[in-house]
A = this chain, B = another copy of it.
Amino acid sequence: MIVNCVAYEEGRRLCNIDRGEIDDYRSRSNCFVWVALHDPDAEELSTFQDIFALHELAVEDALVGEQRPKVEEYGDALFVVTQVISVNQGEVQHGQLAIFAGPGYVLSVRQHSGRGFTDVRARCEREPELLKQGPAFVLYALMDVVVDRYFPVLEELEAELESIEDQIFVRGSARASLERLYQLKRRTMCVKHAVTPLAEASSHLFGGRVPTLCYETQDYFRDVYDHLHRIEAAIDTIRETIITAIQVNLSMVAIDESEVHKRLASWAAIFAVATILAGIWGMNFTHMPELDWRLGYPLALVMMVLCCGALYRRFRRTGWL
Smallest Cβ distance from A187 to chain B, in angstroms?
Answer: 12
Q: Which listed residue (B219, B246, B260, B271) contacts A247, Cβ 8 A?
A: B246
Contacts of A185 in B (CB 8 A): 241, 244
A285 touches B291 (CB 8 A): yes
State the copy count for this chain.
5
Complex alpha-carbon distance, A279 and B258, angstroms:
31
For chain A residues 272-321, which have a beta carbon within 8 Å of chain B?
272-276, 278-288, 290-297, 300-301, 304, 319
Smallest Cβ distance from A209 to chain B, in angstroms?
Answer: 10
Chain B residue at smallest Cβ distance from A171: B175
Interface size of A by CB at 8 A reads 86
Complex alpha-carbon distance, A178 and B256, angstroms:
13
Instruction: State whether the Cβ of A267 lies closer than 8 Å to any Cβ in chain B.
Output: yes
Complex alpha-carbon distance, A297 and B74, angstroms:
96
Contacts of A261 in B (CB 8 A): 257, 260-261, 264
Stretch at the interface among A11-19, A103-111, A220-228: A220-228
Smallest Cβ distance from A261 to chain B, in angstroms?
Answer: 6
Instruction: State whether the Cβ of A268 lies closer than 8 Å to any Cβ in chain B.
Output: yes
Contacts of A247 in B (CB 8 A): 246-247, 250
A233 touches B197 (CB 8 A): yes
B296 touches A286 (CB 8 A): yes
Contacts of A258 in B (CB 8 A): 174, 253, 256-257, 260
- By a beta-carbon cutoff of 8 Å, the part of chain A in contact with chain B is 55, 57, 67-68, 70, 72, 74, 165, 169, 172, 174-175, 178-179, 181-182, 185-186, 189, 193, 197, 219-220, 222-223, 226, 229-230, 233, 237, 240-241, 243-258, 260-265, 267-269, 271-276, 278-288, 290-297, 300-301, 304, 319
Could you list 11 examples of A-B contacts with CB < 8 Å? Answer: A178-B251, A182-B248, A189-B240, A193-B237, A197-B229, A253-B258, A257-B257, A283-B291, A283-B297, A285-B293, A286-B293
Beyond contacts A55-B219, A68-B230, A281-B285: 17 other A-B pairs, Cβ-Cβ < 8 A, are A57-B223, A68-B233, A169-B178, A172-B319, A197-B233, A246-B248, A246-B251, A247-B247, A253-B254, A257-B257, A257-B258, A261-B261, A267-B272, A268-B268, A278-B279, A282-B282, A286-B293
